[in-house]
């Protein structure tokens, strides 16, 4: 009775990890075999991903996994929207550009001259964000058309790595739905959007469902790394969707927050909700595993804490997140709030100073100390979650008594407790490595070891502890929420 091992690569915007998963006695056991930082590189004013370095880290992870007994299959998930362009020989034309690069500033307004905002939303059902693939591509149409003329294929990040590993060029479904280029109802690339924006249709590969075996590791890779051929599975390769697959619940209607660099607040649906209300709330319909739709609000998340931490070097070292949390707990609460999604917080840089400026501009006391800034970030996130909860509830017409929080950010107990308080709902927090668990469970479904999503979620619930947070200080939070709403409108 040999145990099957699978290997999950989970790339977040701040770090990546390679995790081996096994299925035993109705539980998934995970072993992290490799963790690496994922650092963007700014060159001549443009912000890139270090694509080749990322692929190098995948190879490192494969070698570490080999030393721990090898694996039957591997699956890769990453953040959404970004892509690489290949020429007709399959060669990468340039490093993938980071979604925080400013090439997309103003592109929404330019694109709306060709296709109205309402029509674009009606076709795609996606939340408008400057960084969506559609606006990244439209910046190329306008500023660097020769690159698109030269391109033969566009591959979103996980699809690009799958291609480097197998030679197969495919577009995995959940990832494709982050582009704002898909017809949300018919689940195909939207001719209407592509034609209106003069984006060449030929560069888009065939869309395959999540869980598809894309191919096997190429002979070259096996020879270079000294490993046996293994299957490469296009999991729910959008990290958010692998995380949703790991929400440990039996409920059909549940609400979750996936907390990492971004906070993704949403619920799983059978079909998209696209209409006046969802457009007004600017919520996204994104594809999930097994033909589901996730109604999502994309909120800037712990990016604010990550990027602030880079400013607070002490004796050549960064503070740990645990230390920062302790400082936040000592600060006086309910002082000042920011809108985490304000445009000035998108680019990399001095976030603490931008937070102070935001507070001054909105007539609030500017937080000075590290603890005060961290308290402001956590409270502002918790209040933005309540705002998103109300928006999602108004779109679905349902009430969700429990919020499931998953992802690396739930290691901050302060954030979980504040979320329960701000939203006035019970929070169930766990698992931390939801994305990797979802990735692993989907591989086991593809290999026929797990029957379906219901069984997968049950197995995940058996495998991981969850922690409960009960709302506290409700009156104070209600008063803070009233202030917060006026502040984010300023
Ligand atoms: P990504 O979206 O990059 O995959 P993760 O899910 O790994 O992000 O979450 C990273 C975030 O989790 C960090 O930015 C930090 O805010 C939070 N975090 C990580 N470890 C801790 C910790 N020990 N205590 C509090 N917060 C933590
Ligand atoms: C979170 C995420 C999110 C957005 C963003 C760019 O990691 O995938 O859903 O797409 O990255």
Three-class HEC string of 464-490:
CCCEEECCCCHHHHHHHHHHHHHHHCC
Question: Does the beta carbon of 83 lie inside 6 Å of ligand 2?
Answer: no
Q: How far is the C-alpha of 29 from the C-alpha of 164, rounded, in Å?
A: 28
Ligand nearest to the CA of 179: 2
Does pLDDT of 180 surpass 70?
yes
Percentage above 70 pLDDT, the chain: 100
Q: Beta-carbon neighbour count of residue 300 at 10 Å? A: 18
Pocket of ligand 1 (CB under 6 A): 12-15, 260-261, 302, 305-306, 321-322, 325, 407-409, 411-412
Does pLDDT of 313 surpass 90?
no
Task: Report the separation in Å between the CA atom of 121 and the middle of ligand 1, taken as the mean of its atom positions.
Answer: 32
Ligand 2 atom closest to 239 (CA): 8
Question: Does the beta carbon of 265 lie inside 6 Å of ligand 2?
Answer: no
Q: Tell me which residue has its CA closest to atom 1 in ligand 2.
A: 79
pTM more than 0.90: yes
Task: Report the separation in Å between the CA atom of 323 and the middle of ligand 1, taken as the mean of its atom positions.
Answer: 13
Task: Report the separation in Å between the CA atom of 257 and the middle of ligand 1, taken as the mean of its atom positions.
Answer: 14
Spatial CB neighbours of 43, under 8 Å, sequence gap ≥ 6: none
Q: Tell me which residue has its CA closest to atom 26 in ligand 1.
A: 412
Ligand 2 atom closest to 262 (CA): 1
Helical spans, DSSP H, in 144-216: 145-150, 157-166, 173-176, 191-196
Task: Report the separation in Å between the CA atom of 129 and the middle of ligand 2, taken as the mean of its atom positions.
Answer: 11
The answer to whether the beta carbons of residues 267 and 256 sit under 8 Å apart is yes
DSSP state at residue 489: T
316 — pLDDT class (breaks 50, 70, 90): confident
Question: Does the beta carbon of 172 lie inside 6 Å of ligand 2?
Answer: no
Ligand 1 atom closest to 38 (CA): 3
Does pLDDT of 1 surpass 70?
no
pLDDT digits (tens, 9 = 90+) for 324-351: 999 999 999 999 999 999 999 999 999 9
Determine the 3-state secondary structure of 329 from DSSP.
helix
Ligand 1 atom closest to 261 (CA): 2
In this prediction, residue 2 carries a pLDDT of 65
Asked if 239 is an active-site residue, the reply is yes
Place of tokens 């990797």: 436
The answer to whether the beta carbons of residues 298 and 126 sit under 8 Å apart is no
- Name the nearest CA neighbour of 16 among 76, 73, 71: 76
Percentage above 90 pLDDT, the chain: 97
Helical spans, DSSP H, in 14-144: 51-67, 107-112, 117-124, 133-143
Task: Report the separation in Å between the CA atom of 368 and the middle of ligand 2, taken as the mean of its atom positions.
Answer: 30
pLDDT digits (tens, 9 = 90+) for 375-418: 999 999 999 999 999 999 999 999 999 999 999 999 999 999 99
Task: Report the separation in Å between the CA atom of 384 and the middle of ligand 1, taken as the mean of its atom positions.
Answer: 18
Q: How far is the C-alpha of 367 from the C-alpha of 28, rounded, in Å?
A: 43
Paired residues of 285 in beta bridges? 295
φ/ψ bin of 115: left (φ > 0), alpha (ψ from -120 to 50), beta (otherwise): beta
Q: What average pLDDT does the segment 19-24 reach?
A: 97
Ligand nearest to the CA of 177: 2
pLDDT digits (tens, 9 = 90+) for 370-384: 999 999 999 999 999
In this prediction, residue 342 carries a pLDDT of 97
Q: Which of 260, 419, 432 to mutate to test the pocket of ligand 1 (most atoms within 8 A of CB)?
A: 260
Q: What average pLDDT does the segment 56-71 reach?
A: 98
Q: How far is the C-alpha of 466 from the C-alpha of 468, rounded, in Å?
A: 7
Q: Which of 157, 239, 321, 413 to mutate to test the pocket of ligand 1 (most atoms within 8 A of CB)?
A: 321
Task: Report the separation in Å between the CA atom of 131 and the middle of ligand 2, taken as the mean of its atom positions.
Answer: 10
Q: How far is the C-alpha of 252 from the C-alpha of 249, rounded, in Å?
A: 8
Q: How far is the C-alpha of 208 from the C-alpha of 234, rounded, in Å?
A: 8
Ligand nearest to the CA of 131: 2
Q: What average pLDDT does the segment 261-282 reach?
A: 96
Ligand 1 atom closest to 407 (CA): 6
Ligand nearest to the CA of 302: 1
Question: Does the beta carbon of 79 lie inside 6 Å of ligand 2?
Answer: yes
Q: Is 489 exposed, middle or buried (0-12, 13-18, 19+ CB in 10 A)?
A: exposed
Task: Report the separation in Å between the CA atom of 260 and the middle of ligand 1, taken as the mean of its atom positions.
Answer: 6
Q: How far is the C-alpha of 397 from the C-alpha of 478, rounded, in Å?
A: 22
Task: Report the separation in Å between the CA atom of 110 and the middle of ligand 2, taken as the mean of its atom positions.
Answer: 23
In this prediction, residue 315 carries a pLDDT of 80
Q: How far is the C-alpha of 408 from the C-alpha of 416, rounded, in Å?
A: 12
Q: What average pLDDT does the segment 214-236 reach?
A: 98
Q: Tell me which residue has its CA closest to atom 7 in ligand 2.
A: 79
Give the distance between the most distant pair of CA atoms in the chain: 66
Ligand 2 atom closest to 13 (CA): 7
Ligand 2 atom closest to 286 (CA): 9
The answer to whether the beta carbons of residues 8 and 18 sit under 8 Å apart is yes
Q: What average pLDDT does the segment 50-62 reach?
A: 98
Catalytic residue among 10, 101, 239, 339: 239
The CA-based angle 249-255-260, given to 5 degrees, is 95
């Amino acid at each position: 009775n040999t145990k099957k091992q699978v290997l999950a690569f989970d790339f977040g915007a701040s770090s990546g990890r390679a995790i081996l998963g096994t299925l035993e006695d109705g539980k998934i056991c995970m072993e992290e075999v490799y963790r690496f930082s994922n650092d963007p590189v700014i060159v001549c004013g443009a912000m890139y991903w270090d694509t080749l370095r990322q692929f190098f880290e995948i190879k490192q992870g494969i070698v570490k996994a080999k030393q721990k007994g090898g694996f039957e299959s591997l699956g890769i998930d990453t953040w959404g929207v970004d892509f690489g362009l290949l020429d007709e020989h399959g060669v990468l034309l340039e490093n993938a550009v980071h979604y925080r690069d400013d090439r997309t500033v103003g592109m929404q307004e330019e694109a709306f001259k060709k296709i109205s905002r309402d029509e674009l939303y009606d076709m795609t059902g996606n939340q408008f964000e400057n960084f969506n693939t559609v606006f990244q591509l439209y910046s190329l149409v306008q500023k660097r058309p020769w690159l698109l003329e030269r391109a033969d294929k566009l591959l979103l990040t996980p699809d690009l790595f799958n291609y480097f590993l197998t030679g197969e060029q495919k577009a995995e479904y959940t990832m494709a739905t982050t582009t704002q280029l898909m017809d949300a109802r018919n689940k195909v690339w939207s001719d209407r959007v592509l034609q209106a924006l003069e984006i060449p249709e030929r560069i888009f590969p065939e869309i395959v469902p999540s869980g598809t075996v894309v191919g096997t590791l190429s002979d070259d890779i096996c020879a270079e790394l000294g490993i046996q051929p293994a299957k490469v599975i296009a999991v729910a390769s959008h990290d958010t969707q692998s995380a949703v697959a790991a929400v440990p619940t039996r409920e059909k209607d549940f609400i979750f927050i996936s907390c990492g660099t971004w906070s993704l607040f949403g619920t799983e649906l059978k079909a998209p909700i696209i209409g006046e209300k969802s457009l007004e709330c600017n919520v996204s319909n994104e594809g999930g595993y097994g033909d589901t739709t996730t109604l999502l609000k994309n909120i800037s998340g712990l990016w604010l804490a990550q990027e602030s931490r880079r400013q607070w070097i002490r004796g050549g070292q960064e503070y740990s997140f645990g230390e920062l949390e302790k400082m936040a707990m000592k600060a006086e609460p309910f002082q000042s709030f920011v809108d985490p999604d304000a445009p000035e917080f998108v680019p990399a840089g001095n976030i603490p100073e931008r937070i102070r400026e935001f507070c001054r501009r909105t007539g609030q006391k500017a937080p000075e100390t590290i603890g005060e800034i961290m308290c402001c970030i956590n409270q502002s996130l918790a209040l933005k979650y309540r705002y998103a909860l109300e928006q999602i509830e108004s779109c679905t017409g349902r009430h969700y008594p429990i919020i499931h929080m998953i992802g690396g950010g739930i290691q901050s107990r302060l954030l979980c407790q504040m979320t329960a308080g701000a939203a006035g709902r019970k929070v169930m927090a766990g698992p931390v490595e939801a994305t990797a668990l979802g990735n692993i469970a989907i591989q086991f479904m593809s290999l026929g070891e797990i029957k379906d999503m219901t069984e997968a979620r049950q197995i995940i619930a058996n495998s991981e502890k969850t922690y409960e947070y009960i709302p506290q200080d409700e009156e104070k939070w209600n008063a803070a929420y009233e202030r917060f709403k006026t502040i984010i409108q300023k």
